[in-house]
Structure 1
Amino acid sequence: MSAATRSIAWSEGRWTTPPAAVSEDGDALLVTAVESSDAWRSTAYGFVHDTEHALLAPLTDGTAMEVTFTGDFSGEFDQAGVFVRVSDEEWAKAGVEYADGALQLGAVVTHRFSDWSVAPVPEWAGRPLTVRVSRSGDAITVRARAGEEAFRLVRLAYLDPAATAEAGPMVCAPSRADLTVRFTSWTLGPADASIH
């Protein structure tokens, strides 16, 4: 951790939707999702879900937020990562999601309507995963990695430079009641110097 990067205490965040259970194990936070929790707005499916469990703290211009976690992602659409929220209709989530029989790395970006992009990463199953969201100017840059591998660029997305945004660890379990994710790190530091 660089000198300018600091750990965020779990107690500094506020939940968008309270999880089924939350407990601390040493420095880690264990979060159990409520069945049917999810975040989505309209596109293709015709429904709005705003029941994600996201623990949020301020994400200002020029900063990057990072979370590290592990979990048994095996139920359809089990997901965890980072949630960035401006409002009910302006938000993004990025991380891993179990879909179509495999662990996927992806993001949903919502400006009134949600989109979704994923790519399979079955080799990441069972490993510590880190998702990093960097805010600079009118954009957020999302990167992710497994273990100590190099970060992969996941998404570059628009974010109104004047917007007040919050971000932090997120977990959803659209199809089951017993998904528990172990978050081991939540940090805030300087924004990434470059996009690529």
Structure 2
Amino acid sequence: MEDGIWLNEPKVWTRVGGVLEVTTDPSTDFWRETHYGFTRDSGHFLGVRTGSSFTAQLRVEAAYEQLYDQAGIMVRVDERHWVKAGIELSDGRAMLSSVLTSGRSDWATGPYEHDSRSFWMRATVAQGVLRVQVSADGRTWPLVRLAPFPEAPSYQVGPMCCTPERAGLRVRFSEFRLMPALGKDLHDLT
């Protein structure tokens, strides 16, 4: 994350020894059109430039308190092509959430059965395919999402957090790793 570039730099953040701590600004979000009809590109994202294929992972620690509080990982080609995935507070509980945007956003959620205050996210992009995984312990990585994703000579990937309904979510990102794309079998959870 040391060479990351901010999209919507938060007013309050620190980066020391590979640990990024962020406090969200008010009314921050990433969303394009679907259902709500609006477009927002105001969330906090620290993007690290990649090559045409990669795997990135990071640890996320936060205490989600209000509707739509969210933190996780983002992969971005441009403002119309991106994915964000992590924990999002919805319907009164922490949900495993992903939004894939190709012109317009979709939204997929499911209950997260582990401790939402500390988890890991992994994103792999290779040959037009995106694979998103989650881990409760940093060792076992079940699949969250497998989807087509635009092929590009490079991407930006890194930590993302938003609070559409408030300000003040404090998030700690650590253990960021950027590596060649893992060519593992779909059911290899390591």
The TM-score, its normalising length taken from structure 2, stands at: 0.91
Q: Which residue of 2 aligns with 1:125?
A: 116
Partner of 2:114, secondary structure, is helix
The whole-number CA distance in structure 2 between the counterparts of 1:44 and 1:142 is 24
Give secondary structure in 1 for the equivalent of 2:125. strand
What are the residue-to-residue correspondences of 1:114-193 with 2, within 5 Å? 114-126=105-117, 128-148=118-138, 150-193=140-183
Post-superposition Cα deviations, 1:148-170, rounded to whole Å, max 9, x if no partner, equal: 45211011122222353111110
Cα offset, 1:26, TM superposition: 4.7
Change (3 A) 1:147 1:42: same
Alpha carbons of 1:113 and 1:37: their partners in 2 closer, same or farther (altered >3 Å)?
same
Indicate the percent of aligned positions where both proteins have the same amino acid.
34
Shift of 1:111: 0.6
Spell out structure 1 runs of 4+ moving beyond 3 A. 24-27
- 5+ long unaligned stretches in structure 2: none
Q: 1:38-117 counterparts in 2 under 5 A?
A: 38-117=29-108
Task: Give the Cα separation in 2 of the matches to 1:27 and 1:92.
Answer: 23
**Aligned CA distance change for structure 1 residues 190 and 26 (closer, same or farther; 3 Å):** closer
Q: Deviations over 1:46-84 (max 9, x none)?
A: 110100101001232331011112001111111111111
**What secondary structure, in the 3-state scheme, does the structure 2 residue paired with 1:167 have?**
strand
Contact 1:59–1:135 under 8 Å retained in 2: no
Q: Scaled by the length of structure 1, what TM-score is found?
A: 0.89
- 1:124: Cα distance to partner? 2.1
Structure 2 residue aligned with 1:5: none
Task: Give the Cα–Cα distance (whole angstroms) in 1 for the partners of residues 89 and 153 of structure 2.
Answer: 31
Work out the CA distance in 2 between the residues paired with 1:22 and 1:87.
Answer: 24
